[in-house]
Each structure stands twice: as structure tokens, then as C-alpha cells.
Amino acid sequence: MTGSTSDPSIGRACALRLAQEGASIVVNGRSAEAVAETEKALMNDGHNVVGVVGSADDDDAPARLVDAAVSNFGRIDHLVNTVGGSPFIGPPLELDRDGLLAAVALNIWPGVALIQEAMRHGLADGGGSVVNISSGTVHKTTPSMVSYKAAKSALDAVTKTFARDLGPMGVRVNGVAPGLTRTSARAIWDYGEAEAKVSVLRSVTEADDIAGAVVYLLSDDARQVTGVIIDVDGGNHLLGGGTSPYAAK
């Protein structure tokens, strides 16, 4: 479980929900203090957890995460890749090669490398499953987020291609695309609260809403589901076009 220590965050919410369902969890974060706090919080609730400190895009991160799972729990069954971000935010005309490639590398490579490492260490042995965290940005054309949209759109393509490739081995690969979600990223959420007021469901998306979709996709209830990206955004991806005269006031 990459990126799972900030509170609140999508990664931490996923870790907690999966632990509540009986899974043993490997949590990961860049801060040793945050990793230790997350470990302690889950252990105090009676869950099996081990923490791995470090950035998910470090070259040795996939091996360390998979080794922690296999060494402590005997096997690896599920992966949740939550790493993402936008190194470049600005007008498309100011985007340079390094800014674009940095966004693609950050949003795609850690997940790809972790899947490859997990497959080398038995992910397919029990019919494993993977969920990559995408973004509702793929439905929009926000100019300042051009590199992020490109990277997450590419992640969706990677998710579906891995689903086809690994399916015959018994491994399912899906994605969840959050809209603006209430997390510890305060600067983003300041805008998210305003957007929530005009979303289709007129409701706030919480980290636990994303976790619910992730848990479903990892579970046997979704045993025939692979290669899909579920939008969890209060219906925000439906917005566009004119306003219906029959819309609720």
C-alpha cells in the first residue's frame, strides 16, 4: 500500500478498510514518524501491519515493499498504488520536456515497478488483484493540469493493458478515479469544497468513499471485473453541456 500514512488520505483510508476486512497490511510513506504512527494506530485496533519508510519512486522501493509483505505475512495477494502528483502546474505553453516526463514517471512508474516485482514473488499464485489510483482529471481539460491529465490518462491505458496481459494468470487489474477528495492536501481541498456544492450528487467526496471502491475491486465480489476504471466523484465526470430545464433546483 503506497502513500498510506497521511491523515486523512486515500492511501491511509484504503489501508484501514482493508485491515478491517481482515487483510494484513504493508503501509508506506516518506516520513519515518508518519509510518510509525500509522503502524501504531492500526496495531492498536488489532490489525496486522508492517511499515516501510521511503519514497515509492525510489529504485529499491518495490523490492522492499514486496519483501516486507512476503517476509512478514508469507505471501502477497493485493496491491494498491496511490502514488501521484503534478511536478508541473502551469500553462501548456510553458510546459517543458522535463516537466511532462516527470509527471509521467511519478504517476506511472512506481505502480508498474511494484506490479512487476509482486508478480516475480507470487502475486498470481492465489489469483491476485491490483488497484491503481487514477484521477477524475482525465475527464477534464484544465490547462494548468495538462501534464497531470496526460500522466493519469496514460496510467489508465497501462491499467487496462496490464489487465489483459495478467488476466490469463488469474490477476485482475483495475483503477479508481477520485474527484476532488477531502484529504490533508488543504490547498487542493479549498477548491474541492466549492466544487462539491455544484457536483451532481451535491455531496463531498471523502477518502473513505475511495477506499470503499478499492476494497470492492480487490474482493471476490469483483472476481469477474478487470480492466475498468471506476469514477468516485459525486458524478462530477457527468458534468458538461447545457443545463436541463428539468434539473433539480
Q: Cα separation of 156 and 176, whole Å?
A: 9
Which residue type sits at 5?
A: T
Based on the residue annotation, tell me whether 246 is a catalytic residue of this protein. Answer: no
Q: Cα separation of 240 and 25, whole Å?
A: 40
Q: Among the options 148, 191, 216, 246, which is catalytic?
A: 148
Q: How far is CA 160 from CA 25, 134, 229, in A?
A: 25, 12, 9
Strand partners, 175: 132, 229
**Residues comprising the chain, all counted:** 249
User: What region, left, alpha or beta, does residue 38 occupy, with left being phi > 0 and alpha being psi -120 to 50 degrees?
Assistant: alpha
SS3 231: strand
Closest-CA residue to 171 (of 107, 231, 114, 108): 114
DSSP string, 133-148: E--GGGG---GGGHHH
- Active-site amino acid positions: 148
